[in-house]
């Protein structure tokens, strides 16, 4: 009888501790916030970033004269006005890329310092979620 109880206990314990499938990782999507274009120095309108993480897609084009174009992007707090992050440090010439900013949730604006290039920037906020069927 004692053996039967031990075997029953072992089998019952083995069934109740079946491994759970590993959780699916969070997915990151990007919500468009705004796009600005220009030539020379400018400041964007302020925008709210609730997640604290955003990216700036940038393009520098039409450099004239050749070899003289520069582009720099600085994210500022729209509350205090202070510079928080140099998102792009003095890019030279034509080009494109993505600058990442990870800070606190708050309103921001971007200061664009540009010489001899046209520029376009697009700000997108990181939005985190679970894949479908992972509840």
Confidence of residue 135 (pLDDT cuts 50, 70, 90): low
Confidence of residue 129 (pLDDT cuts 50, 70, 90): confident
Confidence of residue 11 (pLDDT cuts 50, 70, 90): low
Report d(CA 98, CA 11) in Å as an integer.
Answer: 56
Confidence of residue 5 (pLDDT cuts 50, 70, 90): very low
What pLDDT shows up at residue 75?
Answer: 98
Cα 23–chain centre separation: 23
Report d(CA 19, CA 123) in Å as an integer.
Answer: 42
Report d(CA 48, CA 64) in Å as an integer.
Answer: 34
The whole model's pTM is what? 0.77
Q: What mean pLDDT do residues 30-34 have?
A: 98
Q: How does pLDDT run across 36-63, given as a tens digit for each residue? A: 999 999 999 999 999 999 999 999 999 9
Q: How does pLDDT run across 81-117, given as a tens digit for each residue? A: 999 999 999 999 999 999 999 999 999 999 999 999 9
Question: CB count, 10 Å around CB of 72?
Answer: 16
What pLDDT shows up at residue 124?
Answer: 98
CATH class of segment(s) 23-129: mainly beta
């Amino acid at each position: 009888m004692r053996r039967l109880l031990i075997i029953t206990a072992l089998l019952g314990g083995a069934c109740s501790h079946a491994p759970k499938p590993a959780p699916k990782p969070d997915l990151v999507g990007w919500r468009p916030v705004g796009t600005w274009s220009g030539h020379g120095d400018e400041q964007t309108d302020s925008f709210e970033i609730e997640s604290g993480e955003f990216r700036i897609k940038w393009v520098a084009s039409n450099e004239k004269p050749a070899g003289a174009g520069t582009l720099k992007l600085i994210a500022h707090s729209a509350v205090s006005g202070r510079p928080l992050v140099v998102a792009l440090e003095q890019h030279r010439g034509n080009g494109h890329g993505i600058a990442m900013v990870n800070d606190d949730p708050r309103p921001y604006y971007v200061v664009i310092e540009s010489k001899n290039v046209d520029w376009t920037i697009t700000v997108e906020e990181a939005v985190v979620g679970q894949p479908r069927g992972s509840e």
